[in-house]
A and B are shown apart, each in its own frame.
Chain A
Amino acid sequence: MTPEPITITIDGQQISVSPEVTLMQAIASIGQDTPVICFHEATTSEGLCRLCVVEVEGWRTLAPACVTKVADEMVLHTDSERVRRARRTILEMLSSAVDLSEAPAIQQQIDDYQADPERFPEAHRRTQPILDDNPFYVRDYEKCVLCWRCVQACGDDLQFTYALSLGGRGYETKIATFFNAPMPETTCVFCGNCVAVCPTNALKGKTEFYLDQGMDYDQIRLQRRRQQKSSSQDKKNG
């Protein structure tokens, strides 16, 4: 049974929607995009990045549009100064700690909200070594914004393989494997569904990674051969 539609107001426009949709879906129904980082059509929304927040009249805090359900008579403001400031601050804080150079969508948002990536010059940057431990993809967690999409893709949203999880606490939180084991020693099956949902290229297929380093296809083949040799050497020694 379809529930009775309810009425809400978005930026002054009154519309009728199903009570089961999220704010983001309601906003999309009038042809308007909501900026997102952690949201993905194929993974469960967790309301982590807060970039999608909107103002609901009468609410003390801003509401994440990806997980908040509509309610009758709700009045939304999607582009108020409060909303813009929140989004801008989120982007500035992310810029201060994370390498966003390969996240074109976020770069666009930084422009859209006139964020200053240098606003917090003293901030501690999340520096981590690049993890290149398997033949298929490279993990560069300096680029990771902790959107969880990879963990969800590996888990109950796409792959049901559970090789990835969150490790550490607070600022030290990062995407990890159990005991930080190299990928080939985990349950990972190298489906790359995590790579496909990564918004910042923290996860990247190896061929693409080396192309981006400026190698051509022949150099990449040579590189691969070297890694094969060293890994078979490891096996002999190990």
Chain B
Amino acid sequence: MAEADTSVRSTCPYCGVGCQIDLKVRNDRIYKVDAPFNIAPNFGRLCSKGRFGVDFVHHPSRLTQPLIRKDLGSKPRQPVGLEGFRPATWDEALDLAADRLAEIVQARGGDAIGTFCSAKATNEDNYIFQKFIRGVIGTNNVDHCARLCHAASVTGLQIAIGSSAMSNSIAEMKDLDMFIVTGSNTTETHPVISTFLREAIVNHGAKMVVVDPREIELCQFAELWLRPTAGTDVAVFQAMAQVIVSENLVDRDFLRERVENFENYRLEISDSTPEWAEAISGVPAADIRTAARLYAQANQAAIYWGMGISQSVHGTDNALSLSNLALLTGNLGKSGSGLNPLRGQNNVQGCSDSGGLPNVFPGYQLVTDDEIRTKFERDWGVLLNPQEGLTTMEMVDAAERGAIQAYFVMGENPMMSEPDLRHARHVMEDLDFILVQDIFLNETGEYADILLPAASFAEKSGTFTNSDRRVQLIRPAVPSPGQARADWEVLCDLAVRVEQRLGRESSAGFSFTSPAEIWDEMARLTPPFQGITYDRLERESGVHWPCPTPDHPGTPYLFTDTFPRGKGQLVSLDYNPSAELPDDEFPFILSTGRVLYHWHGGTMTRRSKLDDIYPEPTVEIHPLDADQLGVQAGDWIQVRSRRGQIRVRTLVTERSPQGMVFIPFHFAEAAANELTMDVRDERAKIPDYKVCAVAVEPLAE
């Protein structure tokens, strides 16, 4: 019987639940993953990815040495596999990278460089990344995949209450009385959270309303399932608000003390009746009324949502339509009750917290605020750029018009995750310089001039911050393959080399010897983290920020007394249709999303045994549509949009409604984002991945 040489407590590298795991190691390899039963947030529960899917760490295609493109300088840049690169020493690769970055900074200024930090890397990696970009390169062009996932939730919640994190902790879920799940296939995207939601229903009698065009697994547990036509969510939630107001189900005290704009809002919403919403969304008016009453009359009601709300051309409105419901009914600021955008990546919360955004330093401190900037300038000993940087998609635009000449991408894969990939590739082809730091050669790395091999989560120390703002440790369990190094170490090394080339008299400070030192610097500059130290994380296994002082217990749920913006704001909304609707040539709505066994661009899970159970790209199609097209379950078919086409295998199922197809976006050989459209929410700059028009065509034998 196998005995582990060591067992190392760490945090799962997949989704935002942040499960605590024990990595069992034998002969320097992880052969098993367990979970402690007595520790939050997962209390022993794991999903297939956490328990069986970390084998990617040992995949033979891990990058093990720095690589330099053989045809440096030739244009247009072509994507190449490993054969297109030659091995280099760390010194050669970092010197070359520093040369090129310094040249561009000197010739064009730092704003000519666009950078992507990583929701998969640690808080410490990302802190150093943005310190390097802001303090040495001199630009705020720092963004990451949060832009492509919860940007609209962030923007909406900032408008409504002034804060965008999940308001409640996972531990509160099992005691709920009522909750709404919308635009989140929680069972597949946040599997362990879904077990606590099901527990609330099965063992605590909670009532759940699901609002989703797809018949997700949770529908089997729902009191009520509202099935709007994709993209019509705002109408449904507006009508729920209208019912709550017209039937006087509002929380009068809460409205008086903590909410503004009710009188205006009440007038504006009076026309948004359930019958109006039924005409738009197809959801029966009676069901909308029932849902509204269930939500308003519960003692502890929460709303959970995912990409179905935020990845929309009117994502900000979607999020606001939810915050309106919470503010009207006072379902906010109590244990269990709140507004909870479920964060996707293991450290997407932390990457944003650590300053991985173009407008803020760590802790959401504005780069445009002179006082804040001065604080960072003093601490780092450098002058900082007062201009907000560009968002992910704005960097693509800037690259297209030549304003951005170089990309630095750490642990992200925009060549899978951006919409309209054909266009995105075209932009990459013309860049002068691309530096990529990753654990694998992925679709983005294929465009790189220099590839820097990074250590995986299992090979380094640091912290991840999960969806409910809980800061937790990761610890090294196995050695890095070859010469791979932790991201923060590489970044410090690179930053100093760029500083030398730019002739900086003093360094912004990159002489760290451990992630704990980096955390301490970030906490010193970031009030909500000031009470969190590595010692404390070791002792308590995790702390929910805000935690301003060492004796502060941390904050599992937010907004007990007040909102960050003072009073909560009700916002009147107009219903707007989706940007591209089906027509004769493209008669189906395409929605994209995830499946249980894969992760995002597939860089990790396609290199895991998880791929054995879900090895092929699929399209969900309704049986009646399949009949009409003459395709059988398992047939390979073509799905085509105005942007591109892919070949996928048919899954005939009633999960997606008639007239809609669903394609998971994990498969590089049939990337769903060849089809999607780069159309963005005006305020959040997030692209719409959930609604575009496609044609579905059988393939000739």
Contact = CB atoms under 8 A, between A and B. Distances in A.
Interface of A: 41-42, 102, 104, 134-137, 156, 158-160, 184, 189-193, 195-196, 201, 205-208, 211-212, 217, 224, 227-228, 231-232
Interface stretch (B45-53, B341-349, B438-446, B672-680): B45-53
B560 interface: no
B628 interface: no
Interface string B488-527: 0000000000000000000000000000000000000000
A137 B609 CA distance: 11
Contact of A193 (B44, B55, B203): B44
Given A41-B37, A160-B202, A190-B52, A207 B32 contact: yes
11 contacts: A135-B609, A135-B610, A189-B187, A192-B51, A193-B44, A193-B51, A196-B51, A208-B31, A211-B26, A211-B31, A224-B612
Contacts of A136: 48, 51-52, 609, 613
Given A135-B609, A135-B613, A192-B48, 18 more contacts: A102-B1, A104-B1, A135-B52, A136-B48, A136-B52, A156-B199, A159-B45, A160-B198, A189-B47, A189-B48, A190-B51, A191-B45, A192-B52, A193-B51, A196-B35, A211-B31, A224-B612, A227-B612
B2 interface: yes
B609 to A, nearest CB: 5
Contact of A217 (B58, B203, B597): B58
**Lowest 7 CB-CB distances: which A-B pairs, in order?**
A160-B198, A135-B612, A192-B51, A190-B48, A136-B52, A42-B37, A207-B31
A87 B538 CA distance: 40
B311 interface: no
Given A193-B44, A231-B612, A159 B1 contact: no
Contacts of A184: 613
B48 A41 contact: no
A41 B43 CA distance: 11
Contacts of B103: none
B596 interface: yes
Contacts of B203: 156
- Bin the interface of chain B by size: 35 or more
Nearest to A160: B198
Given A158-B44, A158-B45, A191 B2 contact: no
B2 A212 contact: yes
Given A189-B191, A189-B596, A196-B34, A205 B46 contact: no
Contacts of A160: 195, 198-199, 202, 221
A189 B37 CA distance: 20
B352 to A, nearest CB: 28
Given A102-B1, A196-B46, A201-B1, A224 B37 contact: no
Contacts of B613: 134-136, 184, 190
Contact of B1 (A190, A192, A195, A212): A212
A192 B55 contact: no
Contacts of A135: 52, 609-610, 612-613
B244 to A, nearest CB: 30
Contacts of B48: 136, 189-192
A206 B609 contact: yes
B32 A205 contact: yes
Given A160-B195, A211-B31, A212-B1, A191 B47 contact: yes
Nearest to B197: A160
A205 B52 contact: yes
Contacts, number: 90
B52 A158 contact: no
A189 B187 CA distance: 9
A42 B52 contact: no
B660 to A, nearest CB: 24
B74 interface: no
B29 interface: yes
A194 B421 CA distance: 41
Contacts of B46: 191-193, 196
Contact of B27 (A195, A208, A217, A228): A217
Given A102-B1, A191-B47, A158 B195 contact: yes
Contact of A208 (B2, B58, B221): B2
Contacts of A228: 612, 615
Contacts of A205: 31-32, 51-52
Nearest to A218: B60
Contacts of A227: 612
A184 B26 CA distance: 29
Contacts of B248: none
A195 to B, nearest CB: 8
A163 to B, nearest CB: 12
A56 to B, nearest CB: 29
A179 to B, nearest CB: 19
Nearest to A207: B31
Contacts of B58: 217
A191 B27 CA distance: 25
A200 B23 CA distance: 20
B643 to A, nearest CB: 31
Interface in B9-48: 26-27, 29, 31-32, 34-35, 37-38, 43-48
B44 A42 contact: yes
Contacts of B44: 42, 158, 193, 196
Nearest to B31: A207
Contacts of B52: 135-137, 190, 192, 205
Given A156-B203, A184-B613, A191 B1 contact: no
Contacts of B35: 196
A196 B612 CA distance: 21
Contacts of A42: 37, 43-44
Listed residue (B31, B43, B58) with the most chain A CB atoms within 10 angstroms of its CB: B31
A196 B24 CA distance: 13
A159 B195 contact: yes
A73 B278 CA distance: 65
Contacts of B31: 205, 207-208, 211
Contacts of B51: 136, 190-193, 195-196, 205
A42 B612 CA distance: 30
A79 B598 CA distance: 52
Contacts of B29: 217
A42 to B, nearest CB: 5
B18 to A, nearest CB: 16
Interface string B531-544: 00000000000000
